[in-house]
């Protein structure tokens, strides 16, 4: 157990941040899954900016790596361009 007040507060804040980060990460993964399940190019193109924005926010807050966000955005673009 932590001995200092600041360490106890750090444990609390880390737990809160971990829960928040897990929620945003899982929400983004579900949005990606939903996007990849689409068959209409118009629907996918409408959802893509929202998903890209979510990925950028995760990368900005170091929840995911910048390169991972870039790779996912690239794969989204390839997927949408391949739709009819």
Question: Where residue 26 sits, what CATH number does that domain have?
Answer: 1.20.58.110
Cα separation, 14 vs 40, whole angstroms: 41
What's the Rg (C-alpha) of the chain? 17
- Name the band, by pLDDT with cuts 50, 70 and 90, for residue 61: very high
The rounded mean pLDDT for the chain is 96
The number of folded domains in the chain is: 1
* Structural domain span for residue 30: 5-82
**Percent of the chain with pLDDT strictly greater than 70:** 100
- Is residue 82 within 8 A of residue 45, CB to CB? The reply is no
pLDDT at 1 exceeding the cut of 80: no
69: nearest Cα among 80, 79, 60, 78: 60
Mean pLDDT of all residues in 10-39: 97
- Name the band, by pLDDT with cuts 50, 70 and 90, for residue 84: confident
């Amino acid at each position: 157990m932590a001995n200092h007040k600041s360490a106890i507060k750090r444990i609390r804040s880390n737990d809160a941040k971990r829960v928040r980060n897990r929620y945003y990460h899982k929400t983004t993964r579900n949005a990606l899954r939903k996007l990849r399940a689409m068959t209409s190019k118009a629907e996918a193109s409408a959802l893509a900016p929202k998903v890209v924005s979510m990925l950028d926010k995760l990368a900005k807050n170091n929840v995911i790596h910048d390169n991972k966000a870039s790779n996912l955005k690239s794969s989204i673009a390839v997927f949408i361009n391949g739709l009819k």
